[in-house]
């Protein structure tokens, strides 16, 4: 939450000449209601189930950049779908940076009525060990998004074309 998945993802897709898809937007389109409404009316479990189904469908499409919600990768089935069909990138950011970013909007269901920094610290404790299973990790620092996009492209390039040591 606040790492830049959507904004960096859009820019990365553009730089790579690929379409961009946002899993949250696709879930909203499929459900005919907002993520916040799904959370409120049906709960997080129902949301995550729908999210997994939508991501599975999206991963069958031609290559694209897909931004998934912060909790999607926590689901073992979703994580396996991603591992089987895609290259995953964890946009890692400091709690301070995330707290500043998420304070700009009031549309985060997991933050409603709670201290953002405390929630983010709790999520980090629980999620970072799982996020570390991603194929690549890119720092999402307090800098322009193009720096993060550039770092993601470098990480992808190294992942897809590992250097062969000289013989």
Domains of the chain, start order? 5-157 (3.40.50.300)
How high is the pLDDT of residue 109?
A: 55
Residues ≥6 apart with Cβ < 8 Å to 102: 1, 2, 108, 111, 116, 120
Distance between CA atoms of residues 30 and 24, nearest Å: 10
Which segments of the chain have a pLDDT < 70?
A: 104-114, 164-167
Q: Assess contact for 137 and 92: CB atoms under 8 A.
A: yes
Give the CA distances from residue 23 to residues 26, 71, 72, 95, in Å, rounded to whole numbers and listed in that order.
5, 11, 9, 23
How high is the pLDDT of residue 103?
A: 72
Distance between CA atoms of residues 23 and 16, nearest Å: 19
How high is the pLDDT of residue 81?
A: 95
Residues ≥6 apart with Cβ < 8 Å to 135: 83, 87, 88, 89, 159
How high is the pLDDT of residue 28?
A: 94
Distance between CA atoms of residues 167 and 63, nearest Å: 35
């Amino acid at each position: 939450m606040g790492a830049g998945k959507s904004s960096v993802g859009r820019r990365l897709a553009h730089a790579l000449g690929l379409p961009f898809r946002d899993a949250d937007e696709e879930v909203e389109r499929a459900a005919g209601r907002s993520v916040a409404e799904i959370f409120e009316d049906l709960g997080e479990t129902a949301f995550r189930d729908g999210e997994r189904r939508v991501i599975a469908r999206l991963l069958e499409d031609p290559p694209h950049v897909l931004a998934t919600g912060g909790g999607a990768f926590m689901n073992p089935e979703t994580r396996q779908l991603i591992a089987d069909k895609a290259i995953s990138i964890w946009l890692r950011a400091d709690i301070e940076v995330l707290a500043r970013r998420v304070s700009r909007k009031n549309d985060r269901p997991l933050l409603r009525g709670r201290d953002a920094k405390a929630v983010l610290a709790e999520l980090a404790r629980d999620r970072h060990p799982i996020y570390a299973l991603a194929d690549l990790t890119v720092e999402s620092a307090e800098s322009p998004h193009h720096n993060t996009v550039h770092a993601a492209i470098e990480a992808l390039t190294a992942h897809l074309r590992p250097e062969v040591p000289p013989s």
